[in-house]
Amino acid sequence: MRAIKAGKRQGTLLVESGAIRSKDLVEGVIEQVQEIIYGVFQWEEGSFEFQEGALPSREVIVLRMSTADLVMEGVRRIERWTRIRRGVGGLGQQYALAADSASTMSDMALLKHEVDLIATLDGVMMLEEICAAARQSDFKVCRAVWGLWAAGVLDRVPQDAAPARKDKTEPHAERMRGAAVGREIDGFNELHRLVFELVSYELRERAPDFFETAFSRALGEEPMLFEGVSVDAAGELDAFALRRNIVAREIARYLAGLDRLLEIEAELARDVLGERKAAIIHDGLMAVKEKQLQRAGKPG
């Protein structure tokens, strides 16, 4: 048996002993580092420490990895709609290709739908316009836009810095109507998160079947409202897709359709969980609605 030499890393010793090939060592280290970095993207909060000083001058393995690719893949692995929505900004957020986007993209391995999205960009575009022009779901488009911005391919353009575009800008009344719908959807999602949490706690692994049944019934009653709408892991409905469906049609009718989904879930809760637990959900919804009215300055 060979003596272990002090100061050498385990990987180097394994290569020298013939246990693994140097190629396997390099690939293993790269994969390990990548997974560590990707894991950081799953954090919603945390702290860090910056240690000033020179980098190690000699390393057995030097990782030549594209920072933009690492960022893009890290964002691709995020599945929570609430995080993506916060990261990408509102529907009115404007984006444009960065000045050095071609150079950045040359070092990246972009997926087809990401390349297609970039190809649809026409100067400065609002996020809502990007979603409307894309063939993918709003969830996928918004995640791609967030990743491309974080990687340096896209720039965010302030409202007052973008040139006026009469052909693409909504009239003021339409923008105001869209903002009102957005507030209604946010209020609905607050209620739906409560139902989602309580039902998921009670039903555990059976909860997905519960919500699939409820959503199927609601889709059958209001297909135009729920068309292309997904539900994230926290129980929030895709606000962008809902807003697009509602603003394009009769607002009052489709906002009532959202309330109908809650009614369907309440009916299912009585059937599946019983009257007592259904009453708890009902009381919770009433409490949240009361808080919403207070925030809006309306009488209960």
Angle at 74 between CA 69 and CA 80, to 5 degrees: 145
Using the predicted structure, report yes or no on whether residue 246 has a pLDDT greater than 70: yes
Domain-wise residue ranges, the chain: 79-161, 172-296
- Is 163 a residue whose pLDDT tops 60? no
Q: Kindly indicate the confidence band of residue 85, based on its pLDDT and cuts at 50, 70 and 90.
A: confident
Tens of pLDDT, residues 40-52: 888 888 888 888 8
By C-alpha distance, which of 182, 155, 169, 159 is closest to 238?
A: 182
Q: Are 110 and 66 in contact (CB under 8 A)?
A: no
Query: Does pTM top 0.85 for this prediction?
Result: no
For residue 43, which amino acid is it? W
The rounded mean pLDDT for the chain is: 80
Give me 114's structure tokens. Answer: 């990401």
Distance CA(173)–CA(129), nearest Å, equals 18
User: What are 96's strand-pairing partners?
Assistant: 155
Copy the structure tokens of residue 234: 């926290």
CA of residue 174 relative to chain centroid, distance: 26
Confidence of residue 300 (pLDDT cuts 50, 70, 90): low
Q: Which of 164-178, 204-218, 236-250, 266-280 has the lowest mean pLDDT?
A: 164-178
Residue 96: enclosing H or E segment and its boundaries? strand 94-97
Q: 2-41: per-residue pLDDT in tens? A: 445 555 666 566 666 666 666 676 777 778 888 888 888 8
Task: Answer for the pair 113, 170: CB distance below 8 angstroms, yes or no.
Answer: no
Give the distance between the most distant pair of CA atoms in the chain.
83
What is the band of 192 on the pLDDT scale with cuts at 50, 70, 90?
Answer: very high
- State the alpha helices, DSSP H only, in the chain: 10-16, 22-40, 67-76, 81-88, 101-106, 112-120, 127-133, 138-151, 172-203, 207-221, 223-226, 239-247, 251-273, 275-296
**What pairs with residue 126 in β-bridges?**
94
